[in-house]
Amino acid sequence: MDFELDDDQRELQRAVREVLDKECPPAYVRRIVDEGHDPTDLWDTLTGLDWPALALAPEVGGLGMTWVDQAIVLEELGYASAPGPFLATCTQFAPAVHQVGTADERLRFLGPVARGERTGTLAFDEGSGSWDPSDVAATAVAGEGGWVMAGTKEFVVDGDTADEVAVALRIDGELRLAIVPGGDLDAEPIDPIDPTTRHARIRLDGVRIDDDRLLGAGDATHALRSALEESVTAVALTTVGACQRILDLDLGHVKERHQFGVPIGSFQAVKHKLADMYRDVERARALGYFAALCIAEDDPRRGRAAAMAKASAGECQRRVVQDGLQLFGGIGYSWEHDLHLYLRRAKVGDLHFGTSSRHRRHIARLALGGS
């Protein structure tokens, strides 16, 4: 494994940061938070640049770049607290379809994603917060020419706006994946902590799907575990990006804010907090990119690496949110300052796809020979 970004990847990083600085500045994020602005215009920009196609296979119209390249984009999206369907579509819906579907099914459902014509999301958790395939209880039974579903899905990212929803459910005890048109579902938006990352509750009772929308031909437990590893790693990387933004804001503040005639950044206690924040961000970033490398190379350590990345990102945000807010003092608590835009993104990043404590327990089980 090569642990350094190459020249092309560094150029991609620079280009992505440049685009987001222009198209998604703090003023734009505030329009989302304060006014409920629809981020379709930003999504149109990203699709025009082929970002959704970045890591998709050429067979479905994608650019065929690596998961590390996608990781670069994800970190920058977190740094900008960028809204829109990229995260749900490209790191939740797309991996699930890719892992479970046949070649024809991938082309059918991922081709429109690569062209920027459709968005998607993954409906998996049912309130347990475990994101474990064994906890999926939603079902489907055979109906006239298709299947009739039952159950409820919680915390579905963009669940009320996605064009297609990949729903994990059970048929005769086997875990399967169904692709349901978003317009056919009863989706209830959940009041968000971070308005740039919206969630919904989806009720499946009585929703019917055709036979050709049930992917694969057998139990999809292993395939969905692999897909979730990508989703978990993606959330970890966006959380790292948000934490880096908070750290950068703090660094700027402690250089400008003076007490007793000197910058507060010269005080030893402030230096200690910043050093601890920097250490945690760098550790979380290293583990996030290691997980991305494992996914890119289909390394057998990918499951453990994804859990380590998510646990580290969650621990990182806890310190960065607490100390980052404290270093700003009273202004950090105000709505007028941009800090809260990134504090929210970092905090939601810990909660989604399992908290750091849940992933630490998973790592412990793996170390003891469990699954």
- Over residues 161-174, the mean pLDDT reads 97
Residue 147 domain-assigned?
Answer: yes
Residue 73 domain-assigned?
Answer: yes
Residues 22, 44, single domain; the answer is: yes
Residues 206, 300, single domain; the answer is: no
pLDDT grade, residue 60 (50/70/90)?
very high
**Which segment of 23-27, 56-60, 183-187, 354-358 scores lowest on mean pLDDT?**
354-358
Tokens matching residue 212: 């050709």
Residues 212, 289, single domain; the answer is: no
> Cα–Cα distance between 289 and 303 in angstroms, integer?
13
- Over residues 203-227, the mean pLDDT reads 95
Closest CA to 116 of 59, 168, 51: 51
pLDDT beyond 80 at 357: yes
pLDDT beyond 90 at 371: no
pLDDT grade, residue 330 (50/70/90)?
confident
pLDDT grade, residue 208 (50/70/90)?
very high
Residues 202, 188, single domain; the answer is: yes
Residues 162, 34, single domain; the answer is: no
Residues 302, 183, single domain; the answer is: no
Residues 194, 322, single domain; the answer is: no
Total number of domains constituting the chain: 3
- Over residues 19-23, the mean pLDDT reads 97
- Over residues 183-203, the mean pLDDT reads 94
Residue where a domain stops, chosen among 192, 218, 244: 218
Could you count the other beta carbons within 10 Å of the beta carbon of residue 300? 9
Q: 268-296 and 221-256 are packed helices; what angle lies between their axes, rounded to 10 degrees?
A: 150
Residues 39, 107, single domain; the answer is: yes
285 vs 191: which has the higher pLDDT: 285
Any residues with CB less than 8 A from the CB of 300 and at least 6 apart, and which?
none
> Cα–Cα distance between 253 and 181 in angstroms, integer?
47
Residues 161, 279, single domain; the answer is: no
Residue 1 domain-assigned?
Answer: no
Q: What is the pLDDT of residue 2?
A: 64
- Over residues 228-245, the mean pLDDT reads 98
pLDDT beyond 80 at 1: no
- Over residues 20-34, the mean pLDDT reads 96
> Cα–Cα distance between 196 and 209 in angstroms, integer?
30
- Over residues 250-278, the mean pLDDT reads 94
Residues 247, 346, single domain; the answer is: yes
Q: Which domain holds residue 249?
A: 222-367
> Cα–Cα distance between 144 and 142 in angstroms, integer?
7
pLDDT beyond 90 at 58: yes
pLDDT beyond 90 at 10: yes
Q: What is the pLDDT of residue 144?
A: 80
The pLDDT mean for the chain works out to 95
Residues 234, 197, single domain; the answer is: no
pLDDT grade, residue 337 (50/70/90)?
very high
> Cα–Cα distance between 247 and 73 in angstroms, integer?
19
Residue 301 domain-assigned?
Answer: yes
- Count of residues in the chain: 371
- Over residues 175-195, the mean pLDDT reads 95
Q: Strand pairing of 174-181 and 164-171?
A: antiparallel
Closest CA to 163 of 99, 229, 97: 97
Residues 31, 78, single domain; the answer is: yes
The alpha-helical segments, DSSP class H, found in 220-267 are 221-256
- Over residues 215-238, the mean pLDDT reads 96
Q: What is the pLDDT of residue 366?
A: 85
pLDDT grade, residue 368 (50/70/90)?
confident
What is the separation, in whole angstroms, between the first and last Cα of the chain?
Answer: 25
Q: What is the pLDDT of residue 130?
A: 81
Q: What is the CATH number of the domain that holds 85?
A: 1.10.540.10
Residues 70-127: pLDDT tens digits? 999 999 999 999 999 999 999 999 999 999 999 999 999 999 999 999 999 999 999 8
Partner residues linked to 204 by β-bridges? none
Residue 2 domain-assigned?
Answer: no
- 139: part of which helix (H) or strand (E)? strand 139-143
Q: What is the CATH number of the domain that holds 139?
A: 2.40.110.10
Residue where a domain stops, chosen among 84, 99, 114: 114
Q: What is the pLDDT of residue 192?
A: 85
Residue 284 domain-assigned?
Answer: yes
At 239 the three-state DSSP class reads: helix
Residue where a domain stops, chosen among 173, 198, 218: 218
**Do 199 and 156 touch, CB atoms closer than 8 A?**
yes
Q: 302-328 and 356-367 are packed helices; what angle lies between their axes, rounded to 10 degrees?
A: 150
Q: What is the CATH number of the domain that holds 257?
A: 1.20.140.10
